[in-house]
Structures are given as C-alpha cells and as structure tokens.
Structure 1
C-alpha cells in the first residue's frame, strides 16, 4: 500500500544537493558590531555578489535602514526581502528544510539566543517568515536547536558537538538519548557522531560547522593545527581522532591558526565555515598564510564546483562567517 505524504519520514538533504535559493543575512544592529557596520556589510556584499553568479540570493533585512543599504549595495544581483530579523545568523534562526520539490517542509525549532547569551528582537520570528516567503509549510518543534550545531550527509548520518547540543543552557530537561530522539523525529536522521568541544571563544558554545563538515556521504572534513601557537591544536586533533574512530573517511585541511581580535584574544576563525551552493564553495579567509593551502586542498575535494576564497574578517568580529549567515532552500 502506498504511504501518504504525511506518513513519510522526513529527509534532510545534504548541503551539496541542488538549491532553489540561498538566503543571506544583512547586519542592522550596530551595537552588535562594535559600532560600525561598514566592514561586515562590505564582506557580506562581496559574498552575495560572488554567490549570485550560481544561485538566486535573497537578502533578509529587518529594518528600513537595512533595506535601503542592502538595496544600494546588492540590489542589482539579489532580492531584498523584508522579514523580521535580529542579527544575520540565518543558519541558526532560519528554518531547516527537509525534503525536496513539493515534499519540502520547513522544520522550525525554539531559538533562545545561543543559550540566552544574545537575545535580539526578531530572531525568533525569522524561521517562519522565511518559510512563508518560500511558501513552504512549517512544522514546529519544542527542542532548542540551531542549524550551525548540526551537519548531515543526506544518508541519515549527523555530526554534532556535546559542548553545544548537550549544554544545560539549551535543553536542560533532556538527556542525550532524548535529544537524539527529538532530532530523529524532526529531521529523519538515525546515526549520530558526537564530537566534544568546538573552537575556543566560540559564542555558540562550539557549533560543529566551525570544526567539521560532511562533503559527501560518509566523508568528513576537519582541520589540522597550523603553527605552534594554534589555540585549538588539542581540540582539532581530538576531533580528527573521533571522526576516524566513527569509521568515516576523513580529510584534513589547515586551520587559520592563531587569529586575534583587537584586544589580542584568540577568535574562532575557521576554514570550515564555508557555504556550499550550486556549482561553488565560498570559503572564508582571514589574511592568514594557511588560506591558500586550504583553498587548494578544498578545490581538489570539491570536483565540479568552483572554490572561491573571500574576506571574512569583519564578519568574524560579529561571531561567525559564511555558513553561519546563510540558509539554503533545497530545490
């Protein structure tokens, strides 16, 4: 007997599946960006222009001023979409789309400002607003879950970190097995690979998209330490070991090494925070000497896609990079 659409388990497509559109956040809260939006807006505009050659871009703007500045900067190559937004991090505030074509469904989760640290008006409304714009039905879930905290390979396998997903500031009343059950129900995944900690000083409590990503079914990529002063050396080595023990094919590329903020503190720069879309991989670079090597190695891994490195230092000052600020809509 054929099953109805409502009886079918959800399927979370991998990020290298075809995209109908790519949403990008546009910064509007000057206090979240050290008092100056010029730098991050310039980096994001560069990203949008590069990506728009490969996929339709929708820029999420949450105020009159944001709409005006986004239209002036990239209105000739992207759709400027007025929806509720706090900050730009659509990977975490936007919906997670399961299925493809007419079977797509927008899975929406509770968002609590990364464990209550960064609560901004509009962020809790963004997921449904994107789904409504795309005319995709929503299914809401009580679990606190951010998209940057998980990474899937399209075969039911999922990467995450205990530092984030098991953090008491997310779902304090749920244990690991209960969290797995909730995610499996919402996204259709059935195999979990748990890493430990993420990068030092990561505002998100160690999102996995800064440390390890799938690039094909069963094939994960992570970083090896760069330089004697890499602040994440031990963490990166532990991640690689865990991935290999899980039976995955594992490839490593260099990390950016030690990257400091204006006060001299290490910040969570990562070559892992790339965005995959139709025909291209857009990689954040931080003017470090290891980026050229990372780009060359990624180019060899992503056959059939261009690999483009773009400046992201100003975006990093806000706490993330290209993957964090985007949300793809599967075709």
Structure 2
C-alpha cells in the first residue's frame, strides 16, 4: 500500500477553504470574490451530504462576514496573507500527519504576513501531528493518483526561484522521502501568465489511477501547444489521457489570464468546476461529469477569484478521512 497522500477523490473528513479577508488585496472584487467562495463552499458541503467546510478567515471582521454568508460552515480564524490554501495549508498523509513545507511567496513574488506558517497553525488547530520539511513546495505544484505516482511541471518544481540548490534527482528523492511519491511524471510548462510559474493543478489532474485529465484547445487558445506537449509526455510515460475542452483565450482588462477548468475540486458529493463565461463552459462541465458519474458536477463562476490568480482548487485543501 502506498504511503503517498490519498487521491483527491478518496473520502474527505473536511476541507479548508480560504475566505477573502483583505480589502486592500481584493479592492472592488472583494464582495464578488466572497460570494463565489461561499457558493463553492456550499456546493462542496452539499446540504450535509458532502464534507465539513472549514472557512479560514484572516481576522475577526472577515470571520463575522463568513459566518453571516455561510452558516453551514465552521469558521476558523487564523492570520494569512491570501486565500491560496492549496499552497500554504499542510498536506495530510494517510496516517493523519500534516506535512508542512517552506513557502517563499511563489518564488519571491508575494511576501505576505502569515502565509509562511499558516500550515503549522492549521495543523495544530485540528490536532494533527506536524512534520516540517526544509524545502519549498506548494500543494498546487503536484497532483497524485494515490498509487505513488505524482505529476508536476518542470517550470515550477525546477524553477531556480524555488529550490536553486536542488537538482531534478534530488527533488524526486525528496518527494519520495517526504511524501511517498515513488514515480514522477514531469510535464513542461504550465499556463501562460500563471504567476505560480506553472502549477500543475491548472494544467493536468489525475482523475483515476494512472488516468490524467488534460485540456485541449484550438490554435486561438494561447496554451494549445502547452496542452499538446503535456499530452504527448503523459502518453509516453504510460498514463491514460482524457481531455476536457479549454476555455480558450480569456481576457481581463485586455490581458490573457490563466483561466482553466482543470482547477476543479473533487469533493465527497460534488466536483466543482470554475467557469468563466466562455462558450466552452457547458461542454467542459459535461466532460468532467462523464469522468465522475458518481458525483454531481457543478460549474460555478469564478471570475472575481481569478483576479487574484487562481480558482477553486487553489483556495482549498482537503483533510482526508
């Protein structure tokens, strides 16, 4: 039996979800971002048929608003810089040990108070044994299928702004020693203009053992070559590839943004897919529903969350049952 983290489709005890808490970061998008986060949390909770939702607010003022908007959730008050808990919350292994890694603001881009130790505090709040690891790793940079196989991108994990003193072989050794991943599928680049330097959870997601979902798009899609290369690498590695339409070229204020349906969250009762008003939204939700016939797949707008750089998977971290 693999000692790697359970795959996301395994049963969850609860999920941490970041609640937008800093008006200076979100500005005019704050209220809409909060509404989108609460809608996501409600879909995951599924009127009690899903999993327990732990909304994490950075201060009491934000917590009060979270309690008002989401009475179904438990609100946890812990200082953080921003809501991207996939990267800053701990990774819980099958034994309930919380693994916490160094965090350097996605390669030194965003140094915000609380992000460097929020994982340790969340683990303590839930009573998990903590294990610290002295190298930079964000949860959104990896995705596992539960068998010991993990997928990542060279753009992120081999980026000199993360672990400049570690070679590819040394990173693979640490993934095995620290998290039990004994096979690594390396993809190349992530999405254009992704400030995380190509997090894999915006590009490729395991949806079964040895089964990888990837986007596909036409030549007007700014990432079509990235998708094509990733599919070729995955098939050459020996995994099954299933494709989901890409939202294509999504612009905000005239700039291409890294909008992706791959940033879905797999909950106990529902799979929640971010949608953006693209003509591909409906087809993408239908494709993901076909992948998860035993769960309800919901497409929810994530426009305001995307202004912060991510989507539903980025703001959540599950606690396995």
TM range, normalised to the smaller chain?
over 0.9
CA distance in 1, matches of 2:27, 2:110: 14
Q: Distance in 2 between matches of 1:301 and 1:26?
A: 29
Aligned to 1:92: 87
- Of 9, 24, 42, the residue aligned with 2:17 is 24
Residues 8-47 of structure 1 mapped to structure 2, 5 A cutoff: 10-47=3-40
What is the distance in 2 between the residues matched to 1:36 and 1:107?
32
Give the aligned partner of residue 71 of structure 1. 67
Q: Is the 1:255–1:270 Cα contact (8 Å) retained in structure 2?
A: yes
Q: Deviations over 1:8-45 (max 9, x none)?
A: 98431111110000110011222322444111111111
Q: Pick from 148, 151, 171: which aligns with 1:179?
A: 171
Cα distance between partner residues in 2 of 1:32 and 1:236: 31
1:92-111 map, 5 Å: 92-99=87-94, 103-111=95-103
RMSD of aligned Cα (Å): 1.2
Runs of 4+ displaced beyond 4 Å: none
Give the 3 Å change call, closer, same or farther, for CA 317–26 of structure 1 in structure 2. Answer: same
**Given that residues 110 and 145 in structure 1 are in contact (C-alpha distance below 8 angstroms), is that contact kept between their aligned partners in structure 2?**
yes
Is 2:147 the partner of 1:151? no
Q: Tell me which residue corresponds to 2:197.
A: 205
| 1:36–1:309 Cα change, 3 Å | closer
Contact 2:44–2:269 (8 Å) recurs in 1? no
Native 8 Å contact 1:84 1:129 kept in 2: no
Which residue number in structure 2 is paired with residue 283 of structure 1?
273
Partner of 2:313: 323
Q: Contact 2:84 / 2:316 at 8 angstroms: preserved in 1?
A: yes
TM-score norm. by structure 2 comes to 0.97
2:262 and 2:45 map into 1 onto residues whose CA distance is 21
* Aligned with residue 237 of structure 2, among 242, 246, 250: 246
Question: Is this contact kept in 2: 1:61–1:67, CA < 8 A?
Answer: yes
| 8 Å contact from structure 2 (residues 3, 148) kept in 1 | no
Instruction: State whether residues 11 and 268 of structure 2, in contact with CA within 8 Å, keep that contact through their aligned partners in structure 1.
Output: yes
Aligned positions, number: 318
TM-score normalised by the chain length of structure 1: 0.94
Partner of 1:229 in structure 2?
220
What is residue 170 of structure 1 aligned with on the other side? 162
How many angstroms apart in 1 are the aligned matches of 2:74 and 2:314? 19
Give the aligned partner of residue 75 of structure 2.
80
Aligned positions of 1:237-276 closer than 5 A: 237-262=228-253, 264-276=254-266
Please give the secondary structure, in 1, of the residue aligned with 2:261.
coil
* 1:129-175 CA distance string (max 9 Å, x none): 11112111010000100000000000000000000000000000111
Q: In the alignment, is residue 293 of structure 1 matched against residue 286 of structure 2? A: no
Aligned to 1:193, which of 167, 177, 185?
Answer: 185
Q: Does 40-49 or 29-38 show the bigger shift?
A: 29-38
Unaligned runs of 5+ in 2: none
Deviation by residue 1:90-120 (Cα, 9 ceiling, x = unmatched):
0000001111xxx210000000000010111
Mapped contact 2:146–2:209 kept (Cα < 8 A): yes
Are 1:314 and 2:304 an aligned pair?
Answer: yes
Q: What is the rounded CA distance, in whole Å, between the counterparts of 1:61 and 1:313 in structure 2?
A: 20
Which whole-Å CA distance do the structure 2 matches of 1:150 and 1:32 have between them? 26
* Alpha-carbon distance between aligned partners in 2 of 1:248 and 1:88, rounded to the nearest angstrom: 32
Residue in 1 aligned with 2:45? 52
| Deviation by residue 1:267-312 (Cα, 9 ceiling, x = unmatched) | 0000000000102100000011101111111111112111111110
